[in-house]
Structure 1
């Protein structure tokens, strides 16, 4: 199974470097020179089906990647918005990927429906589930076991034991 590991942002240099929004907790290991990734890009962009990492480095808290197939800034510009996918190892550690979580119905501990998970926001200190509440408001939920004690992928459900006032913050109350 392929898992999303990054989304490409804007070009960074004249030599084809791009910024990336990470969807992995091990960028140094994942983006080693020579690593290859399947791509998903908008039609007509000319993005290659696979990209091979030439260089990877962190710069002011942002990861920058360059690829063998993209020699310059013009090529890097065409990569904007491209998703990078890696093959998930059979012996991968326990963990959750955005593709696993999006679409799960969220319930409170009593079984009442709260809404649907629409994204995973990856943060430097902590990841957050993005929950579209039943009234359409989006709330960000700290993705920690104390607040998200149950994730049932086969049952397509997640339990969120939100502290008092968490949803009020999303509603601007």
Structure 2
């Protein structure tokens, strides 16, 4: 299985280094010297990492065969792709790869169905699940321990405990659609 692990940014200096936007929780594993990565577009690669270092909190990489600023600048915005065994799990049992979370059912602790994870957005402060609701609309759920209380890969579900206001409208809508039709208390019905 192929996973995007980084996006190449601008050139840094004159010796072929580039900044990278890391898109993996395991950069030391995926972006170390000697790693051979596929690219998107495919015509730009594969690229082999020659060196890597952190400078001012940003990862800098240099690739084999790229020795100057012009060569580095030509790589800008290319996605770096690692080949990963789909059965491989992160070392930390509380971490997950995106492909493991895609298509999980999202439910409340009482089993109320909220929807299905269709996308995961990685933001600087946290990750977000984009959840497609049964009516086709979407809701964003922050992937934080306080809200996503359980990930059960065997049952293919994510259990959430949302704070008030996050999905209250959605829950109200679900309850309204599950209610039986109101009966006429007089028993006379319409004529």
Contact 1:56/1:65 (8 A) holds in 2: yes
For 2:50, which of 54, 58, 71 is the aligned residue?
54
Relative to structure 1, the CA distance from residue 30 to residue 165 in structure 2 (aligned partners, 3 Å threshold; closer, same or farther) is: same
Aligned equivalent of 1:25: 25
Look up the match of 1:113: 113
Aligned-residue offset at 1:87: 4.1
| CA distances 1:7-41 after superposition (whole Å, capped 9, x unpaired) | 2132222433222222333434553322x133141
Query: Is the Cα–Cα contact under 8 Å of residues 7 and 22 in structure 1 kept in the other structure?
Result: yes
Aligned twin of 1:83? 80
RMSD between superposed Cα atoms in Å: 3.1
Aligned counterpart, 1:38: 37
Q: List per-residue Cα deviations over 1:17-69 (Å, max 9, x = no partner).
A: 222222333434553322x13314125xx2223x2222212233322211114
Structure 2 portions without partners, runs of 5+: 169-191
- Name the CA distance, whole Å, in 1 between partners of 2:126 and 2:2: 17
Q: Specify the structure having the higher radius of gyration (Cα).
A: 2
Cα displacement string for residues 58-94 of structure 1 (whole angstroms, at most 9, x for unaligned residues): 2333222111143334443335231331545968523
Q: 1:102-155: per-residue Cα shift (whole Å, max 9, x none)?
A: 2322222222232332114164xx6423223526345241332x3222212343
1:92 and 1:142 map into 2 onto residues whose CA distance is 17
Show structure 1 runs of 5+ residues with no match. Answer: 169-173
Structure ranking higher on relative contact order (CA contacts 8 Å, 6+ apart) = 1
Relative to the length of structure 1, the TM-score reads 0.70
Residue 165 of structure 1 corresponds to 165
Does the 8 Å contact 1:10/1:80 carry over to 2?
Answer: yes
**Count of aligned residue pairs for this structure pair:** 160
User: Per-residue deviation at 1:167?
Assistant: 4.4
TM-score normalized by structure 2? 0.65
The yes-or-no answer on 1:128 pairing with 2:106 is no
